[in-house]
Amino acid sequence: MKELVEGIAKALVDYPDEVQVTAVEGSEVTVLELRANPEDLGKIIGRQGRTAQAIRILLGAAGMKVHRRFTLEVLDGQKAIHSRQSALSEKPARTVGAEFGRI
Domain carrying residue 43: 2-99
3-state secondary structure of 76: strand
With a pLDDT cut of 90, the percent of the chain lying above it is 64
Looking at residue 79, its pLDDT comes to: 60
Tell me the H-state helices in 1-66: 2-12, 41-45, 50-66
CA-based R_g, the chain, Å: 16
- What's the mean pLDDT in 16-39? 92
Which CATH number does the domain housing residue 81 bear?
Answer: 3.30.300.20
Tally of domains in the chain: 1
pLDDT digits (tens, 9 = 90+) for 32-75: 999 999 999 999 999 999 999 999 999 999 999 999 999 999 98
Indicate the pTM of the whole model: 0.72
